[in-house]
């Protein structure tokens, strides 16, 4: 895909190179955002501006103040540093001066490279800025290399250092834990440093997510106000630092977490950091969201234009207890319900140590002969014969101590010598710093696919983080490289998988949302944000997630009641209405449903197919926040604004009814739209009925709003708008 773009007739490439000039402006810009640097008289690179793009580039020359663009440890700098090096001779200080700049443009994407050097040591630093003009976002990362006789040691190695100047700053962070991912919390930042970080190496988004909203002068608002939003593209240990200095300026430093990760860098070796993806908007967080989503569909997620499939999963129905006939029955039910894919989850493998629980068998990727005597191929054929596709669950990075793999290769796991083994979910992590382990993990996928032609989908899971972190492969003096090299090893494996299986659908799962970032999502079609499928909790989980990640890739499943995690009982319609606002799937089994519920589910699946393109490819507009109202609402609008779909949920019953108007957004004010409620529960009266089939202008719906009352506990509405002109 990349090669075809490069050699297309529409390919445009320009190259610009300059040398250091005092006062020179270096402008990194998209259609709306600009990040500007200049060089002072001493040769230091200064960030002079970040904000909305100015119409005339010459105006940037008039900005003659700013901040050190990439401060180093030592010298006069006393605040947080972006780079801290100990040189081969023991010198702990570094200085960087401007050496040159180059840029190249292809397909409206401009990459600017600013080269810096230490005047006293043969150390070079390159800052990269990749500006996506149409999508209005920028990626920034850093590379460092040297020609010193001895190794240098990196102690701090930020990807990005951005500085702002405002009267007040409000930070929205995203945190949680298993089953409560992406919870939002906003606070004002005062003098000092606020650090958000992960130190756990793998599954590193379990407790906090490497993304943020930083609003200037007022709390973050959907449609107004200046906001810097960013997300780090890295699934390993990470760190975000927000330093409000003594003068009231804000410095945002992001990158891999240097905690326990000092890095010895040999001569002529390049150390590359992950990228921070960011944008700056004067129009609030809604604009930020749509920019990230458009970028993701083009660059951040595997084949972002491909329609995502609906699926039925067996996990909550069977867990580890199933056999061939049970699975064949579920495949038949999936086809009858109208799903496009069946996913066989955990428990299908292991013979010496059958995978009948999570205590054993992980790592032994042979089909269990007792459960599936005719192998996976028999099930693939069954799905094909029923007219649907077949998917499989894998967790190739992990191993149970009670497994044949661990018996053969105890040195392949991450653990400290001379210490008691520490397990989570009864499993350990395979050491992906070891090339032999990388080969093995790739072979798990490759063998499964080669032995069972026709598998169309892989759910790639990862259910624990690092503790007792040490590698039998890395040398003793390089143990601090583990967190970084593990992640690089993971990417090596995923590169090989995608190169050989470019068309296979893949879901990114990590016991829920423990590994959700755009460095990893480039390999995957969709992600599983939480094991918590409770529809009420999912409203909050998905609300936070969609600030950065598009709903087209967010798998959302209808599950059984009482919910297996929360024990909450929620009506089927509400569960479907929430799941349909993202990428619909189901864990609830048709065999356990009444005929009435089964028919409702069949109809709902077909209704979803009617709105799927709008949800998966449309622009998201948030209308009412679940954090601020008893009612929440959001909508998607198609690219040409001829269709839209509105989702509204009542979070708490109200005696007199919840009547907040829904002030719609993103419509064409000149177009007229016919309204239709879909997924309707015909057993009960709908308070939307007076509006059914009515036609209103986009101008009316955005200024007067969509007005209907919601009364009942777990009341929900899905409204389709179609152009009537």
Residue 226's Cβ-side half-sphere holds a number of Cα atoms within 13 Å equal to 12
The 10 Å Cβ neighbour count of residue 112 is 23
CA distance 464 to 178: 11
Our answer to whether residue 385 is catalytic in this structure is no
Q: Which of 461, 537, 577, 587 is catalytic?
A: 461
CB within 8 A of 32, min separation 6: which ones? 52, 53, 136, 281
Cα–Cα distance between 261 and 379 in angstroms, integer?
A: 45
Q: Are 329 and 376 a contacting pair, CB within 8 Å?
A: no
CB-based burial label for 608 (10 Å; 0-12, 13-18, 19+): buried
Which residue in this structure is represented by tokens 């230490």?
118
Q: Which residue stretches of 452-511 are H helix?
A: 482-500
**How far is residue 265's CA from residue 153's CA, in Å, rounded to a whole number?**
6
d(Cα 287, Cα 241) in Å, to the nearest integer?
Answer: 24
Could you give the CA distance from residue 226 to residue 285 in angstroms, rounded to a whole number?
Answer: 9
- Helix, strand, coil percentages (3-state) for the chain, rounded to 5, are 25, 35, 45
**How far from 135 is each of 12, 32, 37, 479, CA to CA, in Å?**
18, 9, 22, 40
Say which DSSP state 57 is in: G
Instruction: Give the burial class of 11: count Cβ atoms within 10 A of its Cβ; 0-12 exposed, 13-18 middle, 19 or more buried.
Output: exposed
Instruction: Give the single-character DSSP code of 613.
Output: H
Task: State residue 558 phi and psi, 5-degree precision.
Answer: -85, 125
Backbone φ and ψ for 391, nearest 5 degrees, come out as -125, 160
CB within 8 Å of 496: residues ≥ 6 apart: 442
Decide: 71 and 84 in contact? Cβ < 8 Å.
no
β-bridge mates for residue 448, sequence order: none
What length does the chain have? 725
In this structure, what are the phi and psi dihedrals at residue 348, rounded to the nearest 5 degrees?
-95, 0
Taking the C-alpha atoms of residue 542 and residue 554, their distance in angstroms, rounded to an integer, is: 8
Token match 């329609």: residue? 307
Is-contact 17 101, C-beta < 8 A? yes
Q: Is 345 a known active-site residue? A: no
Q: How far is CA 352 from CA 375, 402, 405, 437, 448, in A?
A: 16, 10, 11, 22, 18
DSSP secondary structure letters along 215-238: EESS---SSSB-EEEEEE--SSSE
Give whole-number Cα distances, 113 to 17, 18, 26, 142, 143, in Å: 9, 11, 10, 9, 10
Which member of 531, 537, 577, 619 is catalytic?
Answer: 531
Contact by Cβ (8 Å): 246, 191: yes
Closest among 592, 668, 593, 607 to 637, alpha carbons compared:
668
**What value, to the nearest 5°, has the Cα angle with vertex 297 and ends 1 and 720?**
135
Residue whose pair of structure tokens reads 């296979």 in the numeric block: 504
Which residue in 230, 212, 215, 231 sits closest to 283, CA to CA?
Answer: 215
Q: Residues with catalytic annotation? A: 461, 531
């Amino acid at each position: 895909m990349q090669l075809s773009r490069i050699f297309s007739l529409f390919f445009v490439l320009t190259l610009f190179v300059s040398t250091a000039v005092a006062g020179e402006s270096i402008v990194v810009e998209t259609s709306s955002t600009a990040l500007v640097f200049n060089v002072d008289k001493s040769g230091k690179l200064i960030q002079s501006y970040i904000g909305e793009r100015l119409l005339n580039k010459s105006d940037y020359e008039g900005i003659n103040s700013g901040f050190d663009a990439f401060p180093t440890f030592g010298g006069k700098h006393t605040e947080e540093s972006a780079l801290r090096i100990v040189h081969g001779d023991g010198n702990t200080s570094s200085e960087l001066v401007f050496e040159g700049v180059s840029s190249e443009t292809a397909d409206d994407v401009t990459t600017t490279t600013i080269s810096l050097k230490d005047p006293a040591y043969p150390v070079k630093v390159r800052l990269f800025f990749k500006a996506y003009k149409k999508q209005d976002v920028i990626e920034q990362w850093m590379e460092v290399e040297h020609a010193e006789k001895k190794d240098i040691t990196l102690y701090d190695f930020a990807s990005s250092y951005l500085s702002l100047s405002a009267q007040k700053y409000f930070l929205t962070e995203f945190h949680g834990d298993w089953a409560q991912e992406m919870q939002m919390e906003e606070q004002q930042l005062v003098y000092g440093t606020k650090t958000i970080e992960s130190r756990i190496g793998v599954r590193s988004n379990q407790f906090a997510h490497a993304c943020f909203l930083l609003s200037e002068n007022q709390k973050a608002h959907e449609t107004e106000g200046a906001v810097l939003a960013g997300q780090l593209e890295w699934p390993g240990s990470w760190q975000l630092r927000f330093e409000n200095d003594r003068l009231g300026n804000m410095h945002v430093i992001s990158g891999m977490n240097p905690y326990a990760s000092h890095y010895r860098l040999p001569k002529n070796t390049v150390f590359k950091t992950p990228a921070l993806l960011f944008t700056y908007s004067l129009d609030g967080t809604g604009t930020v969201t749509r920019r990230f989503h458009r970028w993701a569909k083009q660059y951040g997620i595997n084949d972002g234009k491909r329609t995502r499939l609906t699926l039925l999963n067996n996990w909550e129905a069977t867990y580890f207890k199933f056999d061939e006939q049970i699975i064949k029955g579920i495949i038949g039910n999936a086809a009858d319900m109208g799903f496009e894919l069946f996913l066989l989850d955990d428990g299908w493998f292991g013979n010496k140590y059958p995978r009948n629980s999570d205590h054993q068998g992980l790592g032994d990727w042979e089909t269990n002969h007792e459960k599936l005597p005719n192998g996976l191929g028999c099930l693939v054929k069954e799905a094909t014969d029923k007219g649907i596709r077949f998917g499989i669950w894998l967790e190739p990075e992990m191993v149970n101590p009670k497994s044949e793999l661990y018996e053969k290769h105890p040195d392949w796991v991450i653990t400290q010598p001379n210490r008691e083994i520490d397990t989570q979910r009864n499993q350990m992590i395979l050491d992906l710093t070891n090339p032999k382990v990388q080969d093995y993990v790739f072979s798990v996928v490759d063998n499964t696919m080669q032995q069972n032609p026709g598998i169309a989908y892989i759910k790639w899971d990862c259910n624990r983080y690092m503790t007792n972190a040490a590698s039998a492969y890395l040398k003793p003096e390089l143990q601090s490289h583990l967190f970084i090299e593990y992640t690089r090893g993971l990417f090596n494996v995923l590169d090989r998988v995608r190169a050989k299986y470019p068309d296979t659908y893949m879901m990114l799962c990590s016991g829920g949302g423990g590994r959700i970032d755009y460095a990893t999502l480039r390999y995957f079609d969709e992600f599983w944000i939480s094991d918590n499928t409770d529809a009420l909790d999912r409203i909050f989980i998905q609300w936070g997630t969609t600030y950065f990640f598009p709903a087209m890739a967010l798998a959302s499943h209808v599950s059984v009641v009482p919910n297996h995690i929360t024990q909450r009982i929620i009506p089927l319609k509400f569960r479907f209405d929430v799941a349909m606002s993202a990428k619909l799937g189901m864990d609830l089994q048709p065999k356990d449903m009444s005929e009435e519920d089964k028919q409702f589910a069949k109809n709902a699946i077909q209704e979803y197919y009617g709105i799927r393109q709008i949800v998966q490819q449309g622009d998201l507009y948030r209308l009412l926040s679940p954090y601020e109202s008893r009612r929440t609402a959001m909508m998607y609008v198609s690219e040409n604004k001829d269709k839209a779909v509105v989702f509204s949920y009542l979070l708490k019953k109200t005696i007199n009814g919840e009547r907040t108007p829904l002030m719609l957004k993103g419509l064409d004010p000149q177009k007229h739209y016919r309204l239709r409620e879909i997924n309707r529960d015909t057993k009960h009266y709908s308070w939307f009925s007076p509006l059914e089939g009515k036609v209103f202008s986009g101008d009316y719906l955005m200024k007067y709003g969509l007005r209907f009352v919601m009364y009942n506990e777990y009341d929900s509405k899905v409204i389709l708008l179609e152009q009537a002109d």
